[in-house]
């Protein structure tokens, strides 16, 4: 489980999957990633896509995590019941929103999640076991990607059962009025603020790196839940490399 690895002090590397084909997950699972985020916010992945792609991960050590489109009880329920081991929620700007996410993700008495025997509980075959461990093992990540979130970061990350404060570098850069200048010193300063808040509250700092150099730099800043680009970026980068060599 990636949550256990993170709290043991390890850096865990993953990537975002946006292409709705089981072969993508099946191919990439062999390369040593710790986790995949199945992105339902900015891609076209359906619940059926999620189910099939998670099935392709069976037998591997890769943890499936779903980025939901918004903090919505139905979306949380669908992501978890299909077998996700974690949630990534975008645009979390307040402690109240973080608390609502946790409430939707947790079974009673910690939350209001309904006990539906879906794929996560092996269709009811191990419902008791899953019900007994899910609240403890689920990885809950919130995205800090706006000026408002940055100003409220301590309150957000103080929320019980939030595990990862995940910086969305591009959105945060735009929100700070800096266009797409991700390397701007103001962006780095903002990212350092999130890392400090994570450390202060015993949480994990996460982010997405667009390049190898960014990945190294972000890890030096203290980020330990790091996405190495995405499947579509790998495709474009690989094709460009081949074309440039002709």
Q: pLDDT by residue (tens digit) across 80-89?
A: 999 999 999 9
Residue numbers annotated as active site: 42
pLDDT given for residue 151 in this prediction: 98
pLDDT given for residue 180 in this prediction: 93
In angstroms, rounded to a whole number, what is the distance separating the alpha carbons of residues 163 and 141? 6
In angstroms, rounded to a whole number, what is the distance separating the alpha carbons of residues 52 and 216? 32
Question: H or E stretch including 67?
Answer: strand 63-67
Q: Where do the domains of the chain lie?
A: 2-138+204-244
Return the CATH number of the domain spanning residue range 2-138+204-244: 3.20.20.60
Q: Residues of the chain whose pLDDT is less than 50? A: none
Phi, psi of 33 (to 5 degrees): -65, 150
- HSE, side-chain direction, 13 A CA sphere, residue 221: 29
In angstroms, rounded to a whole number, what is the distance separating the alpha carbons of residues 196 and 81? 33
**Inter-residue contact 97 to 68 (CB < 8 Å):** no
């Amino acid at each position: 489980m990636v949550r256990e690895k993170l709290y043991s002090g390890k850096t865990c590397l993953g990537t975002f999957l946006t292409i709705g084909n089981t072969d993508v997950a099946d191919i990439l699972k062999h390369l040593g990633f710790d986790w995949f985020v199945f992105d339902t916010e900015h891609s076209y992945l359906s619940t059926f896509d999620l189910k099939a792609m998670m099935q392709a991960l069976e037998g591997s050590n890769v943890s499936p995590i779903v980025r939901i489109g918004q903090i919505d009880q139905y979306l949380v329920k669908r992501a978890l019941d299909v077998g996700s081991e974690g949630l990534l929620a975008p645009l979390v700007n307040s402690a109240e929103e973080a608390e609502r996410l946790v409430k939707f993700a947790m079974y009673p008495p910690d939350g209001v999640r309904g006990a539906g025997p879906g794929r996560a509980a092996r269709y009811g075959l191990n419902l008791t076991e899953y019900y007994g461990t899910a609240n403890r093992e689920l990885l809950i990540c919130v995205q800090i990607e706006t000026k408002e979130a940055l100003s409220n970061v301590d309150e957000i990350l103080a929320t019980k059962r939030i595990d990862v404060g995940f910086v969305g570098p591009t959105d945060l850069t735009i929100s700070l009025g800096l266009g797409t200048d991700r390397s701007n010193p103001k962006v780095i300063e903002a990212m350092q603020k999130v890392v400090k808040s994570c450390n202060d509250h015993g949480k994990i700092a996460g982010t997405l790196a667009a390049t190898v150099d960014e990945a190294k730099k972000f890890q030096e800043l203290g980020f330990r839940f790091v996405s190495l680009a995405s499947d579509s970026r790998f495709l474009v980068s690989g094709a460009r490399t081949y074309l440039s060599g002709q």
